[in-house]
Amino acid sequence: MIIYFSGTGNSLVIARQLSERLDEPLLSLYDAAAQDLTQEKRVGLVFPTYDFNLPPAVRMLVGRLKLSPKAYVFAVITCGGQAGNCVWTLRRMLREKGVELAYSHKVRVPDNSALAFGRNPNNQLKKLDRVPARMNLIVSELQAKKHVLHYSSWSLLAWIMGQPKLEKGMIRMLGPKVDSERCIGCNTCVRVCPQENIVLKDGKALIGDNCTACLSCVHFCPQQALQTNGRPTRKDRQYHHPEIRLKDLLRRG
């Protein structure tokens, strides 16, 4: 079983490749958290790193997973550069369930959060050129059922960034805000939000208090009506993985 969380498609593409090459079914983390997976002998978790750690939604959903202590559990983390404390945090959470993390690795991809700092994620597309070689390595090690945790070192900076008050503050500061003058109530953000945290009110998008900072709404809004860090969104800076389309990430019809 390959389980994924993805905001703009980077992790979904990696999860699809693992599903195909390892001949394992593919399931979103939201759906997996609602199922009994204790009969699965191999479980892979694919997700991005946010602020040097697991995204808030991933931590919440991993806490709900029902896994067998005998399962070979592995993680593949997508990130712009550093995996931070993702492996360390995931290992700790799984151990609380009596499950051991057997393997971990990372894949570097364009950083969709660059938009919040005024940078263009599309200028990082060259990172994708190195993905095939990294995936070949990961798949070969998984097929051999290796037990090794790559990029598992604990980071003080990641620990600090993960403190609840600071993390919430970062989401409030860098997370999406609605530009009501541009919003036309098209419902795209409502449908693409993995947390179901956005609703329409009086024909305008309204963001709730359960944002996980995936920025999917920002990158897919056809009107560029979602801002980050107080910055207007430019169409040429909206990003999604080249192999992914909006329909691939919709959770609701």
Predicted TM-score of the model (pTM)? 0.93
**Residue closest to 63 by CA, chosen among 33, 86, 30, 85:** 33
Query: What tens digit of pLDDT does each residue of 138-150 get?
Result: 999 999 999 999 9
**Residue closest to 168 by CA, chosen among 211, 205, 197, 198:** 211
Name the token pair of 42: 């191999």
Query: What tens digit of pLDDT does each residue of 88-112 get?
Result: 999 999 999 999 999 999 999 999 9
> pLDDT grade, residue 253 (50/70/90)?
very low
Is the pLDDT reported for residue 120 higher than 80? yes
Identity at 222, one-letter amino acid code? P
Query: What tens digit of pLDDT does each residue of 166-187 get?
Result: 777 777 777 899 999 999 999 9
Strands (E), 112-164: 148-149
Identity at 147, one-letter amino acid code? H
Q: For the chain, what is the mean pLDDT?
A: 93
- Give the pLDDT confidence score for residue 153 in this predicted structure: 80
Helices 131-143 and 10-22 sit at what angle, rounded to 10 degrees?
A: 40
Name the token pair of 94: 């799984």
- Give the pLDDT confidence score for residue 142 in this predicted structure: 98
C-alpha 216/C-alpha 236 separation (Å) is 15
Query: What tens digit of pLDDT does each residue of 24-62 get?
Result: 999 999 999 999 999 999 999 999 999 889 999 999 999
Contacts of 207 (CB under 8 A, 6+ apart): 175, 176, 177, 178, 197, 198, 217
- Give the pLDDT confidence score for residue 43 in this predicted structure: 98
C-alpha 216/C-alpha 234 separation (Å) is 15
| Environment class of 63 (CB within 10 Å of its CB; exposed 0-12, middle 13-18, buried 19+) | exposed
- Give the pLDDT confidence score for residue 103 in this predicted structure: 98
